[in-house]
Amino acid sequence: MQHFKRWLTALILIPFLLWAIIKGSILLFAVLVSIVSIFAIHEYFDIICANDTGPISQTTRVITYAACMVLVMGACLGSWPVLFFILALDMMALCVFVLARFSALPHIFDLVARQVLGVVYIPLSLALLVFIRNTEGGALWVIWLLIVCFANDTGALYVGTFKGEHKLAPNISPNKTIEGAVGGLVISVTAGLVFNLVFFQDVSLALLCIPCALCVAVAGQIGDLFESAMKRVGHIKDSGKILPGHGGMLDRIDGVLLAIPVFYFFTVFVL
């Protein structure tokens, strides 16, 4: 039943996602990404603050949600200085928050550190996805990236389920296996190669994308384990329930978050 829900959710969301990437404007794409970012950062706070004795400050949440929206929407301009300026504004807002609440919140700097990590981890990474979408052929490259990441997740899941014997990181995620990780890498590289040959029809580019797909897949698996480590510390199984069969939004995009910067590097310096 869990696998049925997983595939049913994917089949429902994929057509809308493809339409937004291919036919939608860059502004619409940024709006969609910012919504994903807000859901993911909300779940991130629930995980990272799960062991706190009290609820997280609503001021911190408001500052963070605003940073998510402005960072991703600001990426529509395709300017790194704009993103750095937004990050600076986020830091200034946090500084004012510290000065105003210093005596009331004894662990205020722990909270600020978590917020900064969350902003770099989620909306800043997703803002790079808007950068990629805004380049020539960007829609196809975004689809290529998502296919490689999701093929990595799916391949690791099913190869690990049927062939997995050796634990990959038992202290972090007991169900993940070395066989599953290798299977995910192979399937993701294959999917990226086939997609490249079909849609870009450039053999040299397809061969160049093989190491790119491998690095993206490795980054995706690291991202998956990183989120699993956070959930392990917070004693949480899933980050949420918004996506039946997948869990929360952060569960779905945890691998993509670290894969995006790696792929952005390749698009700028290699491809």
Give the rounded distance of the alpha carbon of 259 from its chain centre: 8
pLDDT of residue 56: 81
Task: Please state, in angstroms and rounded to a whole number, the distance separating the CA atoms of residues 185 and 187.
Answer: 6
Q: What tokens appear for 218 in the block?
A: 């490795």
As a whole number, the mean pLDDT across the chain is 90
| DSSP summary character for residue 241 | S
Does the pLDDT at position 77 exceed 90? no
Write the CA distances from 83 to 128, 139, 222, 263, 270, integer angstroms. 10, 21, 25, 18, 23
Task: Please state, in angstroms and rounded to a whole number, the distance separating the CA atoms of residues 255 and 222.
Answer: 7
How would you label 88-111 residue by residue, b for 16+ Cβ within 10 Å and e otherwise?
eebeebbeebeeeeeeebeebeeb
Mean pLDDT lowest for which of 30-44, 49-63, 68-82, 147-161? 49-63
pLDDT of residue 51: 83
Task: Please state, in angstroms and rounded to a whole number, the distance separating the CA atoms of residues 205 and 141.
Answer: 12
Span 65-85, average pLDDT: 91
Does the pLDDT at position 3 exceed 70? no
pLDDT of residue 9: 78
C-alpha closest to that of 120 among 190, 57, 44: 44
Q: Count the Cβ atoms, other than its own, within 10 Å of residue 167.
A: 14
Category of 201 on φ-ψ map: left (φ > 0), alpha (ψ -120 to 50) or beta: left
pLDDT of residue 2: 61
Q: If residue 16 lies in a helix (H) or strand (E), which one and from where to where?
A: helix 2-22
Q: Count the Cβ atoms, other than its own, within 10 Å of residue 271.
A: 14
Answer whether 26's CB lies under 8 Å from 134's CB.
yes
Task: Please state, in angstroms and rounded to a whole number, the distance separating the CA atoms of residues 147 and 145.
Answer: 5
Q: What tokens appear for 264 in the block?
A: 């952005």
Span 139-145, average pLDDT: 96
Write the CA distances from 111 to 93, 102, 118, integer angstroms. 13, 11, 11
The model carries a pTM of 0.92
Residue with tokens 């790696």: 262
When divided into structural domains, the chain yields a total of 1
What share of the chain in percent tops pLDDT 70?
Answer: 97
Does the pLDDT at position 22 exceed 80? yes
Span 12-35, average pLDDT: 91
Structural domain containing residue 25: 2-269
Task: Please state, in angstroms and rounded to a whole number, the distance separating the CA atoms of residues 191 and 176.
Answer: 21
Assign 235 a pLDDT band (cuts: 50, 70, 90).
confident
pLDDT in tens, 181-232: 999 999 999 999 999 999 998 999 999 999 999 999 999 999 999 999 999 9
pLDDT in tens, 48-64: 988 877 778 888 899 99
Give the rounded distance of the alpha carbon of 182 from its chain centre: 21
Assign 245 a pLDDT band (cuts: 50, 70, 90).
low
